[in-house]
Structure 1
Amino acid sequence: MPPVANPSPEPADHVLVNVERISKLFRIYDKPADRLRQSLASRIRMPGRAPREYGRNFWALHDVSFSVKRGETIGIIGRNGSGKSTLLQIIAGTLSPTSGEIEVNGRISALLELGAGFNPEFSGRENVLLSARIMGVSAEEIAARFHEIEAFADIGEFIDQPVKTYSSGMYVRLAFAVAIHVSPDLLVVDEALAVGDTAFQTKCLTRIRDMQKAGVTILLVTHSTNTLVEYCDRAIYLKRGHLIKDGPCRDVVKLYANDLVDEEGGRAIDIDVPEGERAASESGAETKKVESDKTSILDVKITDEDGRERTTFSFDDPFRVTVSIRVSQPNLRPCFGVQLKSVDDIVLWSTTTQHMNIAMDALEPGTYHFTWSLRANFSGNRYVVAIGVGDVESGEYKRHARLPYAGHIDVLPQADGGSGWLAPCPAFDFSQ
């Protein structure tokens, strides 16, 4: 059975978490010995001379304020070093803020960075018992739920082995199993789920759905904009310790994506959407493109294999996406990308020439055209096409230009084929 939130007499809109002007200061030292020197310098003062400073201040959070109502799921997004983990640790009570106040009205269950909360010398079983008791769960409750925890973690005989022998995947399996089975009012999940395999991540997200239905409040840090949009009621964007935006998920994701490109030298500009394609953009698809001074996307055409422009295809029909670009500066290692998304901006599939191991020659300034040849082997639905152009730097794809809405295609549903995004061509056989 999925875990159930603790019964509460408060109304549904009761504020469970209130963060008021939280800031956090860390002292950073270049060498371990500098920490000792600073401690000694602050105690041994020379008359008329200020003590020497061996470290420097680093503000991980600056004056962050927000509130979370009971039953809400809030996604927190931002680049590495933006203060996400620090904020969750303060909410969970494992860190104290330098200034500001925080109030949490309920039992917290936290899955923070890998390694937090478990004693590596204890067995998995011992750590389950210890962690649950620390979170206020009685011995009787732990005994009643242990079988469910063990079954969800699914680590077999390792449950009785020291945690220090676990792989990172086994560790996060057990940690998540404990976190969801202690009847929390607030579940706090850092990016630890990214360690697990795909099947386990799906299992965890399914359980999160169950907890949402049970009224559990959830704070979820993720780099996945898809997870943010699909699972969260609203989103918070942190940047260098500052709260940049707190609002609807799609608005936050849009700002976050544009900021990422801005930091790579790009800018967001408005483009015109053809009248026949405007319906898709109004139904949720993004209508901005991002481009830099290095590369511009001039035009995109969606055609059938005979070159006729069209947007409606039957299952498995071939289609082509032809892109025209202008290269303004030499591109030594060009890389091109394509995505297929739902109309509410959830990425369903994507690839780049780098992922496909396609060797690209360097591009001199000029106008170029390239074509993605694809097949409509997915279920009946509307699909938005996104296009990207960039280069490969230090092994990573760096965008110069991106068109989140480059057009759309409508795939006609297969007769008696089911519904959804996938088209697995189902067959059914029954025998007695």
Structure 2
Amino acid sequence: MQIRALDQQSQAEQMLVNVERLSKCFRIYDKPADRLRQSLAARFKVPGRTTRQYGRDFWALHDVSFSVKRGETIGIIGRNGSGKSTLLQMIAGTLSPSEGSVAVNGRISALLELGAGFNPEFSGRENVMLSARIMGVSPEEIRARFDDIEAFADIGEFIDQPVKTYSSGMYVRLAFAVAIHVSPDILVVDEALAVGDTAFQTKCLTRIRQLQKSGTTILLVTHSTNTLVEYCDRAIYLKRGRLIKDGACRDVVKLYANDLVDEEGGRAIDIPLPDDAASETVQEKDVMGVVSDKTSILDVKITDETGKDRTTFSFGDPFRVTVSIRVSQPNRHPCFGLQIKSVDDIVLWSATTQNMNLELDPLESGTYHFTWALRANFSGNRYVLAIGVGDIESGEYKRHARLPYGGHIDVLPQSNSGSGWLAPCPEFEFKP
């Protein structure tokens, strides 16, 4: 039996998911007719003769092992085709392993690929009732929670329309609303959230925070390194169906980023901090990002205008982002960039010294510091900073190094001014 319940000893240890040497093999055919030929060849096999093989084996997942404790949030990262969705489907029980085993303890609520779980001919209301029953929730319980599900999904009158008429965003809204309102012990979320708009993604991530506080175990697939660092206790990196690293989020993100550069023909290396890195302006820091043999980012400091370390600001407050870099090769046309992003990795604002029409002096080898002076003209929220350094080549910005997470700032909400990412300082006037 490959899908099994955890034994009593594991329950005592509060282990909700245990994956042991898990593998999944699919048969791949070049043409649809080859699938039929293979089926006929197997059915009418002649004893003593070798059956011709029309397809080939593809191992989507190979020898993966890890465990998840109660209350942990595990982020799963990897390029498309790395086996992330296959892994989650086997944990959720919708796909059987070819080898190995998955052991689970508790109610699983899964939000997998778009289109899974709902009957397109049924209305949203009917699908809510059906999905809840499949997850083991009684009709009385789901009726008691239906108003909350409907409010969270916020799809209006479409709740009573066939799901086949839904947009992808509406589908995800309803699916996520159901998944979080059935009191799961384990919430499994694939990349389906990427379909939703920014406001809904923020709403979902906020609810994930609440589930974390209540002790729900969460498995979250994401391409956003910021979401991984911000929301997960640890991370798993899959590459071509194999588990490359299971560990601290920052370590996994750094390895993942380096691999991306390697695969695209670049070179990712770690440059040790110079001897003067212990000074007040360049402090040793766990820098996650990709560095080159030309320039590396040593440190990022966020301060107020007086130079005091600070990450919480009110609307309009000035703040400064000071970046320390090591230039290993002379840079005749330096260019620096800054991005301000949401916690789910959506770029809200970006600039480079080039598009600000700033001409910078050439840089010789050495350590340098530069500062961005800004104002927190944002709505109440958390904002992530990403740093880039490079040069101008043939009129284009060529990046030497990028720090996807250079720190974050929290902007306190303004009273009576709305919510979101923007801060337009609204005024309202009504004339009858």
Which TM-score band applies after superposition, normalised by the shorter structure?
A: 0.7 to 0.9
Q: Give 1:21 shift.
A: 0.5
Q: Does residue 124 of structure 1 match 2:124?
A: yes
Q: Contact 2:297–2:323 (CA<8 Å) still a contact in 1?
A: no
Distance in 2, matches of 1:327 and 1:43, equals: 70
Amino acid at match of 1:89: Q
Tell me, what secondary structure is at the counterpart of 1:235?
strand
- Residue matched to 2:200: 200
- Within 2, Cα distance between the matches of 1:123 and 1:25? 35
Partner amino acid for 1:422?
V
Determine if contact 2:297/2:401 at 8 Å carries over to the other structure.
no
Match of 2:278 among 275, 278, 283: 275
Q: Which runs of 5+ in 1 are unaligned?
A: 1-7, 303-309, 329-333, 360-365, 410-419
Q: TM-score, normalised on structure 1? A: 0.74
Higher mean C-alpha deviation, range 310-319 or range 125-134: 310-319
Partner of 2:22: 22
Q: Any unmatched runs of 5+ in structure 2? A: 1-7, 301-305, 311-316, 358-362, 418-432
Residue 186 in structure 1 maps to residue 189 in structure 2: no
User: Following the alignment from structure 1 to structure 2, what is the Cα–Cα distance between the partners of residues 141 and 406?
Assistant: 42
Q: Does 1:254 align with 2:243?
A: no
Structure 2 CA distance for partners of 1:278 and 1:29, relative to 1, 3 Å: farther
Instruction: Report if the CA contact (8 A) 1:266-1:400 is conserved.
Output: no
Say whether 1:387 aligns with 2:379: no
Q: Distance in 2 between matches of 1:157 and 1:38?
A: 48
Matched, 1:422 2:421: no
Q: Percent identity?
A: 63
The structure-2 alpha-carbon separation of the partners of 1:316 and 1:130, relative to structure 1 and needing over 3 Å to count, comes to same
Change over 3 Å in CA distance of 1:94–1:47 after alignment to 2:
closer
Letter in 2 for 1:377: R
* Aligned equivalents of 1:10, 1:406: Cα separation in 2: 37
Query: Superposed, which structure 2 residues align to 1:91-102 within 5 Å?
Result: 91-102=91-102
SS in 1 for 2:80: coil
Name the structure 2 match of 1:416: none
1:385-413, Cα deviation, whole Å (9 max, x unpaired): 73244899xxxx9976315399999xxxx
Answering whether residue 350 of structure 2 is matched by residue 351 of structure 1, we say: yes
C-alpha change, 1:423 and 1:391, in structure 2 (3 Å) is farther
Q: 1:262 to 1:37 in 2, by over 3 A?
A: same
SS at match of 2:220: strand
CA contact (8 A) 1:298 1:326 kept: no
- What is the number of equivalent residue pairs in this alignment? 381
Amino acid at match of 1:281: E
Q: Which amino acid aligns with 1:152?
A: F
Partner of 2:373: 375
Q: Following the alignment from structure 1 to structure 2, what is the Cα–Cα distance between the partners of residues 280 and 84?
A: 37
Preserved CA contact (<8 Å) 1:266 1:401: no
Give the deviation of 1:27 after TM superposition.
Answer: 1.0
Q: Give the aligned residue type for 2:401.
A: R
The one-letter code sitting in structure 2 at the alignment partner of 1:136 is G
Q: Do the aligned residues in 1 keep the contact of 2:338 with 2:385 (CA within 8 Å)?
A: no
Asked if structure 2 preserves the Cα contact closer than 8 Å seen for 1:64 and 1:242, the reply is yes
Cα distance, 1:153 vs structure 2: 0.4
Does the CA contact (< 8 Å) of 2:35 and 2:54 recur in 1? yes
| Residues 155-304 of structure 1 mapped to structure 2, 5 A cutoff | 155-264=155-264, 265-273=266-274, 274-276=277-279, 280-282=283-285, 285-286=286-287, 289-291=290-292, 296-297=294-295
Q: CA deviation at 1:276?
A: 2.4
Q: CA, structure 1 residues 10+180, in 2 after alignment: closer, same or farther (shift >3 Å)?
A: farther
Q: Does the aligned pair in 2 maintain the 1:280–1:408 contact within 8 Å? A: no
Match of 1:3 in 2: none
Q: Structure 1 residues 335 and 319 mapped into 2: Cα distance closer, same or farther (>3 Å)?
A: closer
Residue pair 1:169, 1:196 contacting (<8 A) in 2 also: yes
How much has 1:53 moved relative to structure 2? 2.5
Distance in 1, Cα, partners of 2:140 & 2:249: 40
**Equivalent position amino acid for 2:39 in 1:** S
Aligned: 1:61 with 2:61:
yes
The alpha-carbon distance between structure 1 residues 321 and 250, as it changes in their structure 2 partners (threshold 3 A), is: closer
Give the letter aligned to residue 177 of structure 2.
A
Give the residue type in structure 1 aligned to 2:243. Answer: L
Taking the aligned partners of 1:124 and 1:375, their CA distance within structure 2 comes to: 49
Corresponding letter in the other structure for 2:375 = N
Please give the alpha-carbon distance, in whole angstroms, between the structure 2 residues aligned to 1:405 and 1:216: 28
Partner Cα distance (1:33, 1:255) in 2: 42
Give 1:141's aligned residue: 141
Query: How many angstroms does 1:147 deviate by?
Result: 0.7
Instruction: Note the C-alpha offset of 1:312.
Output: 6.7
Asked whether the 8 Å contact 1:311–1:408 carries over to 2, the reply is no
Give yes or no for contact 1:270–1:287 (8 Å, CA) kept in 2.
no
Deviation track 1:23-48 (CA, whole Å, cap 9, x = no partner) reads 00011122222211222233344687
Following superposition, the deviation at residue 317 of structure 1 comes to 7.1
Matched residue SS, 1:268: coil
Question: Is the CA contact 1:261–1:290 (under 8 Å) kept in the aligned structure 2?
Answer: no
SS in 2 for 1:376: strand
> CA–CA distance in 2 between the matches of 1:278 and 1:287?
19
SS at match of 1:266: coil
CA distance in 1, matches of 2:299, 2:101: 54
Query: What SS does structure 2 have at the residue aligned with 1:269?
Result: coil
Tell me how far 1:60 sits from its aligned partner.
Answer: 0.7
The correspondence of residues 7-18 of structure 1 with structure 2, limited to 5 A, is 13-18=13-18
The one-letter amino acid of 2:403's match is: P
Inter-partner Cα distance in structure 2 for 1:339 and 1:372: 15
Task: Tell me, yes or no, if the aligned pair for 1:297 and 1:403 is still in contact at 8 Å.
Answer: no
The correspondence of residues 29-108 of structure 1 with structure 2, limited to 5 A, is 29-45=29-45, 50-108=50-108
